């Protein structure tokens, strides 16, 4: 079950730090923040046939 974070409750700085932490535990520190940012760009310009993939 995915918990929702509403836009008006979103602390952007905290969110990015948390996501970077979560992802770093999967792929390593070096690429975590980059992946987080890339995910955001992807969603913003989503459905354009773009996908990013990482060699973890």
Residues that bind other proteins (CB under 8 A): 2-7, 10, 12-13, 15-16, 19, 22-23, 26-27, 31, 34-56
Least Å distance, CB 2 to other proteins, is 6
User: Three-state secondary structure along 15-46?
Assistant: HHHHHHHHHHHHHCHHHHHHHHHHHHHHHHCC
Least separation, in Å, of the C-beta of 39 and other proteins?
Answer: 4
Least CB distance to other proteins at residue 7 (A) = 4
Residue 26 backbone dihedrals phi, psi, to 5 degrees = -95, -50
């Amino acid at each position: 079950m995915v918990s929702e974070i509403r836009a008006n409750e979103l602390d952007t700085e905290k969110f990015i730090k948390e996501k970077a932490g979560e992802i770093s535990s999967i792929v390593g520190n070096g690429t975590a923040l980059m992946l987080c940012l890339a995910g955001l760009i992807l969603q913003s310009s989503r459905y354009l046939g773009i996908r990013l993939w990482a060699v973890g």
